[in-house]
Chain A
Amino acid sequence: MFYREAGQFKSSYKEDQAVFPILQDRIGIAILLLVAFIGIPLFAGDYFVGAIMTPFLILALAAVGLNILTGYAGQISLGTGAFMAVGAFSAYKLATFSIALGGAEATLPLILTILLAGVVAALVGVMFGIPSLRIKGFYLAVATLAAQFFIEWLLVKVGWFTNYSPSGVITAPPLVVLGYEFHTPAEKYLFTLTFVVVMAMAAKNLVRSHIGRGWMAIRDMDIAAEIIGFRPLQTKLTAFAVSSFFCGVAGALWAFVHLGTVEPEAFGINRSFSILFMVIIGGMGSILGAFIGAAFITLLPIFLNNVPPMIGWNIGVDMVAHLEFMIFGVLIIFFLIVEPHGLARLWTIGKEKLRTWPFPY
């Protein structure tokens, strides 16, 4: 009744190719952005903004990055955590290089630091993407697993990466942009949100472009893609580069905005797995899916953990934790059985149903 595009005519190619061709979608996105940018920082508490939304957004950004590689270009990667670590540690090195040289404080602008960290992660990603030309599927997953272990080991082993910190821990400089310091949870949240929104829009447009279609062609059948003119080398490596750039920025945000002080274990193999699960559960090949998947993996356990005490059900904290694991596991299996293509697919089906509601034919 409400969600119907009847009467919305496109009179130019530009309108026809818009990211959100349907008016209701545009309104929906506008409302979502308004809530995210104004509603949440104004009305939600520090706990919700700082401990739930900020990490969720950063991990969603990493999931978008992995989705580009795995969902769109079909290259399975278990090195997400490592690429995030590269981002975090390069951001730290870039931010402190003037101090290491004897200067007083960080001189490189913060935004530039974070973006350059993404570039470094992209270069490393390309290096570890080279084997993808010869190996596929599970074998590639194992090759990227090597990246995960190697990079984590390197960051721990070589003192230069941590400015010879005794425990291998890096501390991020304050978040200052043009003299304004992002200090409160709400300010940090807005900082993160801006990055995530801009980069998610970029990703959405990228996958609709020539490059993105190349990735999908390679994913669907690499020989056919090669025959119609996509070069496997460039196409696969751009996927690795773009994906690692996203992960690198996410890692830098994790270190600089979320934690402030971070050890390499924060980007261990568990991180790689959890981001891969976000992509699988959220939906391969869907930017929206990355967000839904990140919400499922990060927010649902916290939510489940909060329920028993809130409804006044007093069972020890360990029991709550066990219950959380059980329900979470059951829900994963449930959703995978109900919709093997991920939660984003459920959303699409829901929209289809909505178009004919309340008079389905």
Chain B
Amino acid sequence: MSLKKFVLGAVGAAVLAAPLAAPAPALAEDTLYLPKLVYRTGPFAPGGIPTANGASDYWAMINERDGGVNGARVIYEECEFGYNTDRGVECYERTKTNHGGALIYQPYSTGVTYALTDRTRTDKIPLLTMGYGRSDAGVGTAFPWVFPLMTNYWGQATGIFKYISEQEGGIDAMKDKTIALVYLDIAYGKESIPIFRTMSEKFGFTLKEYPVTFPGLEQKATWLQVRRARPDYIVMWGWGAMNQTAIKEAAGIRFPAEKFIGNWWAGAEQDTVPAGDAAIGYKSATFNVAGKEFPVIQEIVKHVYGKGNGAGEENVGQVLYNRSVVTQTFIHAGILAAQEKFGVKAITSEQLRWGMENIKIDDATAAKMGITGMVPNIAPTCEDHIGGGSFFIQQWDGKKWNLVSEPIEPMNDLVVPAMQETADKYLKEKGLEPATCG
């Protein structure tokens, strides 16, 4: 065997064996392991990068400023899945046992959320899907490990309708109005249809549904139909590159932008800036406020970017970045609650579930976390994984997002029974018993 072959063989063997080698033994100090599934590459990277940067910067700030949560250092680790569900599942399995076990997952992908619903139940790891995922997952007894928090898609749909009816001068004025629902034709986009149909029957407005084929770059045909239907309002359930295209197309058919309302995944700088002037006046829902003036964002700027670290300064203060930061503060609050209850610093994922069920984001906590005015108050329980919650409508003025509404609460009398119904069906099909609370 020549030397070249031997060297090549040895290097090859080393490379092959490296990933199979045992991971480093657990550290003696108290740590909290927070893996994060991210998509900094692929078609949805424009949404993936700010959500990843927000989480990365927040925990960097906590480690830098406080040395962790109550002295337990946070190990934040990313796993790239490119918005590909198969790879998301692989990432979950790869990271879940590292560093003494993952505490919580936040995939920012509806597909991965579905795929992980079963696995997190088996592994007893909470799945935080703030603002996305299954609408019925707010029923804590059916989905003990899933936390949608704030409001779900159905609540959001009823809230947007409430806002529209306020603009028109009351629910009765909606009788002969037409609302067009433009949605991305995948599971996520379809999620709001049943509740819109229910509302259409109940309140007497005409609902027109316009699916947009994934990934939503070609929408000409859809908007020709919308123009012909002459709706009074357009509501959009979009994500990724679909949003900017739709905003441009709406301007193309001269639809007034202030009557075009996106959901909270269709209302970020990544959607409006590329659309240019077409986006001026465009509205969207949001449950977190954009801007850099909040204490928590200032702390990040000071402790992370001030020291030359940080993942991406251009994202700081954007809608999606702030949303991710707010999500991390809720996890932070959950960890604090669990640490207090169980009297340990390095909590487990099961203890964090208790923590997440018992966070109370009120004015005092919000001030402590530095998120006053950034997000509505919530208080989830074991049965209710949504915890009340409300959201705002924001409007793009060409440079930044401004709030244009008071906090809007969903029509819970419509939403809660619908959630309960599908959650019961889920339990039955799965052959599962509801979890007990108390």
Binding site for B on A (CB under 8 A): 45-47, 50-52, 55, 96, 99, 104-106, 156, 163, 165-169, 171-174, 183, 258-266, 298, 301-303, 305-307, 310-311, 316-318, 320-322, 325
Residues of chain B in range 397-436 having any CB-CB distance to chain A below 8 Å: 422, 425-426, 428-431
Q: Is the CB of A167 within 8 A of B80?
A: no
Binding site for A on B (CB under 8 A): 15, 18-19, 21, 38, 40-41, 78-80, 82, 85-87, 89-90, 92-94, 96-97, 110-111, 114-115, 117-119, 122, 134-136, 185-188, 190-191, 193-194, 214, 422, 425-426, 428-431
A166 to B154, CA, bound (A): 10
A-B contact pairs, 16 of them (CB 8 A): A47-B97, A51-B92, A55-B90, A99-B429, A105-B428, A105-B431, A166-B193, A166-B194, A168-B187, A169-B114, A169-B187, A171-B429, A258-B89, A265-B186, A311-B18, A318-B40
Q: Report whether A156 and B185 are in contact in the complex, using a CB–CB cutoff of 8 Å.
A: yes
List of A residues within 8 angstroms of B119 by Cβ: 260
**Chain A residues with CB below 8 A from B85, complex form:** 259, 265-266
CB distance from B79 to the nearest CB of A (A): 7
Q: Which residues of A contact B136 (CB under 8 A)?
A: 166
Please give the distance in Å from A231's CB to the nearest CB on chain B: 40
- B32 nearest CB across to chain A (Å): 20
Q: B93, B117, B122, B429 — which one has the most chain A CB atoms within 10 A of its CB?
A: B429
| Ranked 10 nearest A-B pairs via Cβ | A51-B93, A260-B118, A318-B40, A317-B80, A167-B187, A306-B19, A263-B187, A321-B80, A261-B114, A310-B19
User: Would you give the shortest CB distance from B240 to chain A, in whole angstroms?
Assistant: 14
Using A51-B94, A163-B425, A306-B19 as known contacts, say yes or no to A318 and B41 having CB atoms under 8 A apart. Answer: yes
Known: A168-B187, A306-B19. A259 touches B115 (CB 8 A): yes
Report chain A residues within 8 Å CB of B90: 51-52, 55, 302
Contacts of A265 in B (CB 8 A): 85, 111, 186-187, 214
| Beyond A55-B86, A259-B118, A321-B82, 6 extra complex contacts between A and B, CB < 8 Å | A96-B429, A173-B431, A183-B122, A258-B89, A259-B114, A307-B15
A311–B79 Cα gap in the complex (Å)? 16
Q: Is the CB–CB distance between B115 and A321 below 8 Å?
A: no
A172 to chain B, nearest CB (A): 8
Q: How far does the alpha carbon of A172 sit from the alpha carbon of B430 in the complex, in Å?
A: 6
Q: Smallest CB–CB gap between B96 and chain A, Å?
A: 8
A236 to B176, CA, bound (A): 57
Q: Are A261 and B94 in contact (CB under 8 A)?
A: no
Q: Which residues of B contact A321 (CB under 8 A)?
A: 40-41, 80, 82
